[in-house]
Each structure stands twice: as structure tokens, then as C-alpha cells.
Structure 1
Amino acid sequence: MKLFCFPYAGGLPSIYYGWKRALSPALLEIDPFEVRPSLQSDSVVLSTSFYEVLEDVYKRITPELGEEPFAFYGHSMGGLIAFELTRKLLQNGKPLPQHLFLSASRVPHAYHKLVKTYNLPHNEFIESLRTLGGTPNEVLDNHELLELFLPNIRADFQAVQTYEMNNELPQQIPVNMTVLFGKEDSIEIQDIVAWRDYCGRECKFYPMPGGHFFIHQQMNTILVIIQDTLKVEQAVAIRAQF
């Protein structure tokens, strides 16, 4: 089975490279998916619209979705992409993921609570990133690296901080969900457990030690949860064939 992994806002696919090294492809093939170009260039116009970003992801990922089962994992903004991508696949009659893993992701109807930081002046924006965590100090303290990565980070933040759910599509998706959340995260717990309202199948919750970016400290625990969950579902799917 292939697991497509979507990074958080401003994050790179490389945050999942350790997962690839930790697992044999025979057990689970980790596919760190690039949500948008990694580096800014003169030829790249970075969209600040969530749905334009989603459309681009949809166009690039659908050719990879064949008859083999697959699943999605998304952290923070990556979780929102995984959920909305699943809704778009459902809308267009495409294959759906066998499972949706959402980590540090608030429910879609709670995004209006986000404080708008994407349009802050340079120094204030940098300090907001430092407070949030997730962006290494090696990047925040290096002018040349900031010039490379900051346009992507701002564009991602604007996309997610201005996101509004499209209520014309069905809210629930017929896919099992696993929701992981940091015990010290600032996301309100009601905006985590409300994922039940978006899941048309089984929805499980796992509290994790740490804050919003627990993904960096809890890799082994997360991978065990993912593997155990998918093993059970594959066994159920096999039994259903007989």
C-alpha cells in the first residue's frame, strides 16, 4: 500500500524522508508529496488560494491513483489538503483512500478562528514563525535561506488562513479516519473531536505527547499507529472477499 504524505504549511516533503528510511516499501510505501514547488523562482507564481493549490495537487496526484489501495496522511495544513482532496476525488468519481490520517488538524469549520499572520511585516512574521515552531532556527536566522523559503511559507499561510469550506459538497466522506493531536497544542479540543461529523465511517483519536509539531518527536509512535491501523483494515478487506 502507498501512503501519500502532505506536509504542514511552509513544510517540505523532506519532513517525511525519515519515515521512508524507517519502513521497508514491502510493508508500506511512503510517498512524501510535494504540495507546491519547494523553492521560489522567477518562473513560479505562488498561488495564495487554497483551492488553486488543491486543484494543482489533484491534477498531479490522480494519475498515481490506480487499482492498488492507498491512504493519505496530512499534518496541519496537510491534513486539510488530505481531507479536501478526498472530497474532490469523491465528487469526481475517482478512487478514494482506504484511510485518512489527520494530525494536528482542526476541523474545516474552525479555520475562521485562525489569527491572520500572513500579512504581517517581515520581522513580525519571522517572530510569529519562531513562536509557532516548525521552521528551523537555521532558516529563520539565515537571510539567504529566508529569501528562498519565505515566499512559500507566506503563500501557504495565506492559503490556509483565508480558507473557507465549500458547503456545496457533502461534508461527510465515506472513509475511515484516524486523528492524532498534540496534548499541548493550542487547537481547541472541540475542534479536534468534531472530525466525527466529517467521517462517514469509523473515526479514532490518538492524543500525542507534545505541541503542534509533535510529528518531529513522535515518528516511531505515529508509524506504529499507521501500520497497525492499515493491517487491520487490509485484513478486513481480505475477509470481505470470501
Structure 2
Amino acid sequence: MKITNNWFPFARNRDIKKTNRVFCFHYAGGSSSIFKHWAVSRLPVEFIPVELPGRGARISESCLENFDCLIEQMISSLITVIDNRPFYFFGHSMGAMIAFEAAYQLQGKYGVQPEKLIVAGRHAPHRPDLSLFKSHMSDETLIWELKRLNGTPREILENREIIQFLLPMIRSDYKLHESYNYQGQKLSIPIIAHAGKHDHEANAAVMQHWQQVTDGAFAIKEFDGNHFFVQNLGEEYLSELIRAVSQADYNVREA
């Protein structure tokens, strides 16, 4: 089966033989390409990276800076590719917030929901945002923030032409993030929280609060690394994510 929807650029040819599908939502300043190497046939799980407007394959489109508008457009596309197979949501950083709200809206509007929500590197939606950078701050401050988070290659940060091209998109993502308005939304599905030990704004103590936004089961696990442990751990993290999806009784030690 082919997907022609531009929200899912790496899922043109879907493998309907795979039981489980995971929709993946990226961090601020990223794109679906960070999950491209997960969308391969050798894996037992079908990973479907989600592309937001204004980046990657949709670079010619305008970025969306209103969270409600983004969710409304996105779930109308998601519902067209959800069939009777189980599906899961995975979100990293900003993507965790998007995945949470998409799960909530799908249940409310269409009566469908993911089997599990797996979140990494972001505080729970009802907790205060500890991020140091705000979208009204200068480009120099934003570059300093990118250096602090240590997830952007040095050659990009030191290339003035490239970084000036990327800054507006990254700033738009911060505006999108800041536009989110939590109003007591709560899920009924299991939530699994993954935290980097050295991610001071989203460590295990911070991410423990995700337990409060679901009536379902909750599990949490720490990983070595900073805010970008998902990318930096490579196959090690991917294997853990596949276990979290595939095992109904997925258990991890309490952080």
C-alpha cells in the first residue's frame, strides 16, 4: 500500500505484514529525516516519521506556529492512514507534546487511540517549561542555546550561511511549542517515559510527572546521555524502543 500524504515522506510503500506501526514526532528544529534510518524493512516494527510543514520534504511550505492549527491539520491526515493494525506514538522533546495532544484529539474526535505513548526528553504537559531560551530572544541567544543542548553539529553552527537559513525554522518551532495550552487533557493509555541522565530539563525526576496525565500504566527508564540521547545512542536506543512497542508487559526499573 502506498502513502501519498506529504506528512509521511518515508512511508510511501507501507509494509502491511508488520503488526505494529510507530508514528514518530521529532524535536524542535528537526525533521522527519532524523528517523529515516528507522523506516527500513529489516526492522520488525514499521516506523513512520511525521513531517511538519516548513522542513525536510516540505521545506517550501510555511512553518506552523499555532499548536491547535498544527494538530487539527495533522490528525485529519493521520486518520486517513490508520487502519485496523495497532499503532503507537513516539515523540522526542517537542515531538512528545505533539504526540500527546494528537493521541488525545484522535480519541476525542475519532474514537481511536495509540496502544502506547512513548515520550523522550520533555517535561509533562501540565508542568512548567524549564527551557532557558524563549522565542522572543535574539539569534545570538538561540545559537548559544543550540550549543548548550549539544545536538547540532559544530560545522553547522560555525557555517553562517547554513545557520542563518535554519534559525527561522528553529525559532518557529519554539513559537509553536510556546503556543501550547494545556487544559487538563488526560489519556487512558500506557505512557512510557525515556529520560537522559544528563538532560537537566527533562531528567527522570522531571519526566516522572507524565504519570499524572494518564489513567493507564506508566513506566520510566533512564539512559546515558544528554537531551539528544535518542540520536546519540543509535542502535542501542532503537532496540529499546522496539522492545517498548513489542512487549505488552514492558517493564523498566523505576528511576
Query: TM-score with structure 1 length normalisation?
Result: 0.85
Which of structures 1 and 2 has the larger relative contact order (alpha carbons within 8 angstroms, sep 6+)?
A: 1
Hey, what does 1:107 align to over in structure 2?
124
Hey, what does 2:15 align to over in structure 1?
none
Deviation at 1:87, TM superposition (A): 0.6
Hey, what does 2:199 align to over in structure 1?
185
Q: Kindly report the root-mean-square deviation, in angstroms, between the aligned alpha carbons of the 2 structures.
A: 2.5
* C-alpha separation in 2, matches of 1:134 and 1:89: 31
Unaligned ranges ≥5, structure 2: 1-19, 251-255
* C-alpha separation in 1, matches of 2:47 and 2:208: 27
Matching of residue 125 in structure 1 with residue 139 in structure 2: no
Matching of residue 95 in structure 1 with residue 108 in structure 2: no
Deviation at 1:147, TM superposition (A): 3.8
The code of the aligned residue for 2:99 comes to A
Hey, what does 1:18 align to over in structure 2?
37
Hey, what does 1:77 align to over in structure 2?
94
After superposition, the C-alpha distances for 1:210-231 in whole angstroms (9 at most, x for unaligned) are 1111012223232222222333
Deviation at 1:71, TM superposition (A): 0.6
| Secondary structure at 1:233 match in 2 | coil
Structure 1 residues 107 and 234: CA distance shift in structure 2, 3 A: closer
Asked if the contact 2:118/2:193 (under 8 Å) is kept, the reply is yes
Asked if the contact 1:75/1:102 (under 8 Å) is kept, the reply is yes
After superposition, the C-alpha distances for 1:66-91 in whole angstroms (9 at most, x for unaligned) are 11111111100001111010011111
| Secondary structure at 2:39 match in 1 | helix
Structure 1 residues 63 and 141: CA distance shift in structure 2, 3 A: same
Higher helix share: 1
Structure 1 residues 148 and 189: CA distance shift in structure 2, 3 A: same
Matching of residue 214 in structure 1 with residue 236 in structure 2: no
Query: TM-score with structure 2 length normalisation?
Result: 0.81
Hey, what does 1:34 align to over in structure 2?
51
Hey, what does 1:173 align to over in structure 2?
187
Q: Which moved more, 1:191-200 or 1:116-125?
A: 116-125
* C-alpha separation in 2, matches of 1:82 and 1:74: 6
| Secondary structure at 2:222 match in 1 | strand
Unaligned ranges ≥5, structure 1: 236-242
Provide the aligned length of Structure 1 versus Structure 2. Answer: 230
Hey, what does 1:238 align to over in structure 2?
none
* C-alpha separation in 2, matches of 1:16 and 1:144: 25
Matching of residue 199 in structure 1 with residue 214 in structure 2: yes
Deviation at 1:40, TM superposition (A): 11
Asked if the contact 1:2/1:70 (under 8 Å) is kept, the reply is yes
| Secondary structure at 1:5 match in 2 | strand
Asked if the contact 2:33/2:56 (under 8 Å) is kept, the reply is no
* C-alpha separation in 1, matches of 2:223 and 2:180: 26
The code of the aligned residue for 2:240 comes to I
After superposition, the C-alpha distances for 1:20-50 in whole angstroms (9 at most, x for unaligned) are 34x625x111111112231699963322222
